[in-house]
Each structure stands twice: as structure tokens, then as C-alpha cells.
Amino acid sequence: MRIIGIDPGLRITGWGIIDTEGSRLTHVGHGVVTSDDKAALSDRLRTLYDGLYEVVERYQPAGAAVEQTFVNANAMSALKLGHARAVALLVPAQSGLVVAEYEPSLVKKALTGSGRADKAQVAAMVARLLPGIDRDARADAYDALAVAICHAHHGGTRAGWTARAR
């Protein structure tokens, strides 16, 4: 199954694509979509939408996962981030994908065993689980790949529970 992971942000939205076969994970692609912080909010959201739409169309994932965001002390920043997150949820949903959401602490715990791991620890585990990944990739892309990996682990568990319940 092909999974897209998305780390939403208004300035930089990370994306990562992995393939899963059983417990085997394979890196397919990763990158970021950036918007001009001097542009109008509507233009920035359109840029994020267009960029994510292009990624979904190109890679044709079968599943999607988006990282939940924490509440920012600055209300205006939190609201703008919420808009970017809405785009990150909307694009895969419009393509017919079921979109899972994961808290940052759960993503960190799924990869490192600790919900309080720092970005360097998460990136190191992503690189270990997906050999050959570009070590110079942006942190946002590593975070998106981490979300996809988390979904691969948790999605398989959920599918097993559902099958057993039947």
C-alpha cells in the first residue's frame, strides 16, 4: 500500500511517500511545498493546495496521514496554521482517500519509543527505516515521512483489529 504523510505548515508543508508490504517499508519520495509569506493568505493556501494536489496525482497513494498541530500561544498564528492543516486534509480527501490524523507525540513514540523525542532523533529513525534517503532533506519532509511510517504501523494494527472483530 502506498501512503502519503503530510506535515502541515503555512510557510512549509512537508510530504513523504512510502510503500508498505507487510512490515517492509520502502521510500518512494519526499519534499516540501512552500508558500511566499509576503503573499495574501488566499494565495498561500492555493499554492499549498496546488502543490499537494500535484503530489497526490503524481504518486497515487492509497492512504493518507496528517500530523495534528499543537495549539500556538499566538491566536492568529494558530488560525493560519489551521487553514494550512485544512488544505492538508482536503487534498487527499478530495482524491477519495481516507485521511488519518496523528498527534506529534504518537508519531514520535511510533518511531523512537518516546513521545518526547527531538527532531534529530525522529530524522535518525526515518533514515534508519528508509535506507538511502537524502540526509540533507528538510526537517519538514522527514516529519512527513515519520507520519507516513506511523500510519503504516498503526493502520496495520487497526486493520487487524477490524478483521478480528468480524
Residue 146 has pLDDT above 70, yes or no: yes
Annotation says 101 is catalytic:
no
Domain extent for 63: 1-154
Q: Confirm whether 21 is a catalytic residue.
A: no
| 43 carries an active-site annotation | no
The catalytic residue among 19, 67, 136, 143 is 67
Residue 162 scores a pLDDT above 60: no
Q: What are the tens digits of pLDDT across the range 73-87?
A: 788 888 889 999 999
Across the range 108-121, mean pLDDT stands at 93
pLDDT at position 71: 67
Q: Would you say residue 91 lies in a domain?
A: yes
Q: 140 lies in a domain? A: yes
Q: Which residues are within 8 A (CB) of 159 and not within 5 positions of it... i.e. 6 or more apart? A: none
6: β partners:
15, 66
Residue 106 located in a structural domain? yes
Strand duo 2-7 + 12-21: pairing: antiparallel
pLDDT value at residue 155: 74
Is residue 161 one of the residues assigned to a domain? no
CATH number of the domain encompassing residue 109: 3.30.420.10
160 within domain boundaries = no
Residue 122: band (very low, low, confident or very high) from pLDDT cuts 50, 70, 90: very high
Residue 116, CA distances (Å) to 16, 107, 126, 148 in order: 22, 10, 16, 18
Distance CA 38, CA 1 (A): 38
- pLDDT value for 165: 42
Q: Is 67 annotated as a binding residue?
A: yes
How many structural domains are present in the chain?
A: 1
**0.75 exceeded by pTM:** yes
